[in-house]
Amino acid sequence: MNRTIATSPPTARPWLLLSILAAALAMTGSVITLLSQHLYDTLTATFLPQALAQDLVNLLFVSPAMIVLALLALRGSSPAFVLWLGTLLFTAYNYVIYTIGIPFGPLFLPWVGVLALSIFALLGGAACINRDELLVTYRSGRAAQVSAWALIVVALMFAALWLSEDVPALLNGTTPQSLVDQGMITNPVHVLDLGFFLPAVLVIGALWLRGNLRAATAAPSFLVFLFLTGLPILVTPIVQSVRGETAAWGVVVPIGTVTIVVALLLAWLLRSMAIATPARQEMGLAPRGSGAPGPQPARG
């Protein structure tokens, strides 16, 4: 089977540049919060180490990764472009939480700026997939099938976890303990996950199993999101320990396992990624299969 070497979508250039600006602004905000002694004073003892862990991951990993992937995509790397979408999805998701979950303060407008820039860059980048400028398939049908089912299983797992907290509280007319611990009126993570992210993951996984090329192209972005989501959870016990607090090490094994599995699936997919835009299919330069997670016929 031929593996086509393709460039990232040319119309994505402004969105890639926009994301670099978003990452730089996010890094600046993270530096300020980590050096400040007062910006997070109103956060509860439970929420504070989580916020600090998120700032550390944003500063040291997510934003630098977004910049590097954007630069590689500008140089023509299609795999970098697909992974870049995942960093944007993660950033947009988390800065919704920054803007509505953390009390109003000096960084409110910069956080809104990161949110706006990442959302527009994400929508612009995703539009390149919708216009068929970049579609991918995979030489390994097994890698695609396992990854698609992994997306579905993880989405169902987190949906069950959140509902196991929310539904009993609703039936009993009480407030979930996590809201009490974090000092919130509602949980933005549950809102975003149950209202958008987890349904999107289920749809992507199901469409991928049915052979949809756009789902096959977008799926690695959701795996990137899941991988990045695990990092601040794993860093939180370290922050708690450094601060002299009781560290919640119990999350390390389950979340660490999911994070490692997702990273391995991403590596597996990237090794077997092939470009399958319609124009290249007609020239016989890429698989004509539908992106289904199964063996694809060779052409050319």
DSSP 171-200: HHT---HHHHHHT-SS-HHHHHIIIIIHHH
Residues 287, 133: Cα–Cα separation, whole Å: 16
Amino acid identity at 57: V
Residue at 292 is within a domain = no
Residue at 54 is within a domain = yes
Domains of the chain: total: 1
Position 293 confidence tier, pLDDT thresholds 50, 70, 90: low
- Average pLDDT, integer, range 161-181: 87
Residue at 289 is within a domain = no
| Torsion sign over Cα 127, 64, 48, 104 | negative
Residue at 145 is within a domain = yes
Residues 119, 284: Cα–Cα separation, whole Å: 36
Residue at 169 is within a domain = yes
Tell me the per-residue pLDDT of 228-278, one tens digit each, with 9 for 90 and over. 999 999 999 999 999 888 888 888 999 999 999 999 999 999 888 876 554
Tell me the per-residue pLDDT of 98-126, one tens digit each, with 9 for 90 and over. 998 888 889 999 999 999 999 999 999 88
Beta-ladder partners of 274: 137
Residue at 175 is within a domain = yes
Following CA atoms 71, 117, 119, 162 in sequence, which dihedral angle do they give, to the nearest 10 degrees?
100
Residues 161, 164: Cα–Cα separation, whole Å: 5
Residue at 52 is within a domain = yes
- Predicted model pTM: 0.84
The 3-class secondary structure across 131-175, one letter per residue, is CCCCCEEECCHHHHHHHHHHHHHHHHHHHHHHHHHHHHHHHHCCC
Structural domain span for residue 140:
10-282
CA 160 and chain centroid, separation: 20
Sequence-distant contacts of 77-80: CB under 8 A, at least 24 apart: 77/7, 77/8, 78/6, 78/7, 78/8, 78/134, 78/136, 78/273, 78/275, 79/270, 79/273, 80/8
| 62, HSE (Cβ side, Cα atoms, 13 Å) | 37
Residue at 290 is within a domain = no
Tell me the per-residue pLDDT of 25-49, one tens digit each, with 9 for 90 and over. 999 999 999 998 788 888 888 888 9
As to burial, measured by CB atoms within 10 angstroms (0-12 exposed, 13-18 middle, 19+ buried), residue 204 is: buried
More confident of the two residues 223 and 176: 223
Q: Are 224 and 196 in contact (CB under 8 A)?
A: no
Residues 83, 193: Cα–Cα separation, whole Å: 20
pLDDT the model gives residue 265:
93
More confident of the two residues 9 and 294: 9
pLDDT the model gives residue 275:
65
